[in-house]
Amino acid sequence: MDRWNLLFLAPHWRVSLLRLFKRSRQTWGIDAQILCADSNAYSPSLKECDRAFQIPLFNQPECLQRVLEICDDGQVGAIIPLTNKSVEFLDTHRDPFQKQGIHLYISGSDAIKICHDKLKLVEFFDRASIAMPPAQLLSSAKPFADFPWIAKPRVGEGSQQVFKIQDNTDLEYYRSKFPAHIAQTFIEGCEYTVDWFSARSGEHLLVVPRERLSVKNGEVWISKIEMNETLIQRVKEAASALQLQGPANLQGILDRDGRFHFTDINLRFGSGSVHSILAGADFPGLIWHELTGQSLTGLKGSVKNGSVLSRFHDGFMMDD
């Protein structure tokens, strides 16, 4: 039996993305199911998929066996992780899934180790001559350059515990509170996220830059697509250096001189990727075609340059 079903791992509240995969499935006439597995029984994504499963936390030993059982019972052909922890979980357990013939939409282990450690990413890009604000541990005794600086966790996601350091008073305070943070030079400019997707072969298929016009708690609420060729080329260079595979979103600042400085790389679909999909970047269609063994020729589509997306809250009534 062909394994065409798709499992989203830790989708949490990513209902909009699931709906776009369902719409694409219907558009392309794909006879497959969408499964979701999440540790939170109240995850709204569990209301949107065809089959829903609650799983243990990723650091619990029984989690792997439970996910493998879901894949076997659900005839899963590929898994898409939607958090950093789910990416790391799949990376740690590649062999059992590959033995079942399941494709994992994640980059290689080296890329994951680099991108999930912001200090390692800075050092990697420095060696590759790719622009990224210099960084050091907040606890470092080395002299700091001119303020302001941005302090953020060395490992983490969701823009939690990110602070702007304006002067020495701020520096001493945050250094005492968050010694494991890193500090990076603050770059003045326009903030962008670039949605990226490459095929299993490694060929990049879609690169879509979005200016982040309104951001709250690390999540973009209003974005504008800008198909800036210079920015696209910088992203291709970075992705090539890291040998990225599958979905990713690369964040950075375009400064006043037109130079793009990378600030973060997430090796998964970002929450704002729904904008790129709605504007014509058919990420779901590419994945469905890969999963069912169909040609990807002609699927890149035409992205609507200059389009603006404004997101809003919605919700489900949960069962008792």
pLDDT at 168: 87
pLDDT at 302: 86
pLDDT at 225: 97
| One-letter amino acid of 199 | A
- Over residues 125-142, the mean pLDDT reads 88
Taken in order 45, 14, 202, 241, is the CA torsion positive or negative? negative
pLDDT at 1: 46
Tokens at 220, concatenated: 């973009």
Summarize pLDDT for 235-245 with one digit per residue, the tens.
999 999 999 99
Range name among 19-33, 134-148, 305-319 with the lowest pLDDT average: 134-148
Summarize pLDDT for 158-211 with one digit per residue, the tens.
667 889 999 888 988 999 999 889 999 999 999 999 999 998 877 778 999 999
User: Average per-residue pLDDT in the chain?
Assistant: 92
pLDDT at 320: 55
Question: Is residue 140 predicted with pLDDT exceeding 80?
Answer: no
Report DSSP state, residue 313. -
Q: How confident is the model at residue 141 (pLDDT cuts 50, 70, 90)?
A: low
Q: How confident is the model at residue 309 (pLDDT cuts 50, 70, 90)?
A: very high
pTM, 2 dp: 0.94
Helix axes 283-291, 15-27, angle to 10 degrees: 60
Q: Determine the Cα–Cα distance for residues 137 and 222; give it in Å rounded to an integer.
A: 32
Domains of the chain: 5-106 (3.40.50.20), 134-185 (3.30.1490), 188-310 (3.30.470.20)
| Cβ pair 215, 271 in contact under 8 A | no
